[in-house]
């Protein structure tokens, strides 16, 4: 298959907490741009289909590390990922309403807000992406499941041994012989999607969080096969492919932010789910489910996906940015939230990182507190053992009679 990759850029929301391009870079467009080899197999949960159009100068290295170095902040990916769940929360807040309908639905938007120039990506998002082509209706399109270790471009198979994997989808036209890769990931790195910047000139935490779809020509066989997976899962018609392309555009324009965490009451089967993640694997699952709706028949093969869980009692709703940090907001609560996020700031020395790690352990494990930002709203999580867990779970491929639910 061809090695020429193309990714889809996406635009970042300008609300606090969303990703934006670096000054001097054009705003990512809502089309499927090409991706460079670096973007492939990027981060754990990150594939981008329609993101803002960014300068492609730095793009080549980014795709493989998509989940790694996004955002202005330089986060320590492997360590941060394993400790993301161990975030300290300070004083518990009482007297606020708690929502009883679980899990909380992922909020969709009418369109992508214009990105804020403050947010910068260490690796350009989807630098060489291209629009999804219109395929001949009678073409047979082979569909491939793609999976590789997160940040393989930087750490090789290190995170693969921990089953921390990035997911994508490959396509091959039998009429033209052309191959394509499609994925969804963070515009400004995983750290920025998981923790905010605490800017001294702002009262509220500032988030650089956005994810988008990325489409490009070519499949890097070596990248996916060497330490991961490249396996055919279905064959679809050109008409199904074109239907999928329309759905992808709509899905990408309305689902604009990345969510790292799955939050549950316990690891036990059937335990209450409080919040679902929204990442690269979820994009793959949604796409497979949609193809099944269009009539695709998938093979009966095992498919596993990486998921990062936080475990807590019933979450408490705290409010949005205005109600917490606005002129009439709760200053005590606002300070608690900012103190909670402080140990996760980027650009730390080794000494600072170790000290902050102790603070995180004290807050999450000892005091059992975590503040979650979801749908532009803040929640308090009363943490429970085992606190955080990374799993590699089987989620079966769908079929046209029974598609995946809740995606």
**Is residue 193 annotated as a catalytic residue, yes or no?**
no
Beta bridge partners of residue 390, listed in sequence order? 308
User: What are the φ and ψ backbone dihedral angles of 252, each rounded to 5 degrees?
Assistant: -75, -35
Tokens of 288: 């497979």
Q: Which of 47, 166, 193, 223 is catalytic?
A: 166
User: What are the φ and ψ backbone dihedral angles of 277, each rounded to 5 degrees?
Assistant: -75, 165
CA atoms within 13 A of residue 40's CA, in its CB half-sphere: 33
Q: Among positive and negative, which fits the CA dihedral 392, 394, 395, 397?
A: positive
CA distance 195 to 260: 10
User: What are the φ and ψ backbone dihedral angles of 34, each rounded to 5 degrees?
Assistant: -80, 155
Q: Which of 119, 193, 208, 280 is catalytic?
A: 280
Residue 211 CB-density burial (10 A; 0-12 exposed, 13-18 middle, 19+ buried): buried
The contacts of residue 81 (CB under 8 Å, 6+ apart) are 44, 150, 159, 164, 190, 308, 390
Going through 206-315 in order, the beta strands assigned E by DSSP cover 211-217, 229-237, 262-264, 273-275, 304-312
**Is residue 280 annotated as a catalytic residue, yes or no?**
yes
Q: Known catalytic residues?
A: 166, 280
């Amino acid at each position: 298959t061809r090695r020429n990759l193309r990714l889809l850029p996406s635009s970042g929301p300008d609300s606090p907490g969303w990703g934006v391009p670096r000054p001097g870079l054009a705003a990512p467009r809502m089309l499927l741009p090409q991706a460079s080899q670096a973007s492939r197999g990027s981060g754990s949960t990150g594939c981008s289909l329609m993101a803002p159009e960014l300068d492609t100068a730095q793009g080549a290295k980014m795709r493989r590390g998509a989940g790694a170095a996004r955002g202005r902040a330089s986060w320590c990916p492997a360590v941060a990922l394993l400790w993301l769940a161990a975030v300290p929360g300070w004083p518990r807040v009482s007297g606020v309403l708690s929502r009883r309908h679980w899990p909380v639905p992922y909020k969709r938007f009418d369109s992508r807000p214009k990105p804020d120039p403050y947010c910068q990506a260490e690796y350009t998002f989807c630098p060489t992406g291209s629009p999804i082509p219109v395929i001949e209706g009678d073409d047979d399109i082979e569909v491939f499941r793609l999976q590789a270790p997160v940040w393989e471009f930087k750490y090789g198979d290190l995170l693969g041994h921990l089953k921390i994997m990035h997911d994508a989808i490959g396509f091959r036209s039998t009429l033209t012989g052309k191959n394509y890769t499609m994925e969804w990931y963070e515009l400004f790195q995983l750290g920025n999607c998981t923790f905010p910047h605490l800017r001294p000139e702002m009262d509220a935490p500032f988030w650089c969080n956005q994810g988008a779809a990325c489409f490009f020509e070519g499949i890097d066989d070596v990248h996916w096969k060497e330490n991961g997976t490249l396996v055919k899962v279905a064959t679809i018609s050109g008409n199904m492919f074109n239907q999928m392309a329309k759905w992808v555009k709509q899905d990408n324009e309305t689902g604009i932010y990345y969510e790292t965490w799955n939050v549950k009451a316990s690891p036990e089967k059937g335990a209450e789910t409080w919040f679902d993640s929204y990442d690269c694997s979820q994009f793959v699952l949604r796409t497979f489910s949609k193809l099944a709706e269009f009539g695709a028949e998938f093979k009966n093969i095992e498919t596993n996906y990486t998921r990062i869980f936080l475990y807590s009692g019933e979450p408490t709703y705290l409010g949005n940015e205005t109600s917490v940090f606005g002129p009439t907001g709760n200053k005590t609560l606002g300070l608690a939230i900012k103190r909670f996020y402080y140990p996760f700031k980027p650009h730390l020395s080794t000494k600072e990182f170790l000290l902050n790690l102790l603070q995180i352990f004290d807050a999450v494990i000892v005091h059992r507190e975590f503040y979650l930002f979801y749908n532009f709203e803040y929640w308090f999580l009363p943490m429970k053992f085992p606190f955080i867990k990374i799993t590699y779970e089987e989620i079966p491929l769908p079929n046209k009679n029974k598609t995946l639910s809740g995606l």
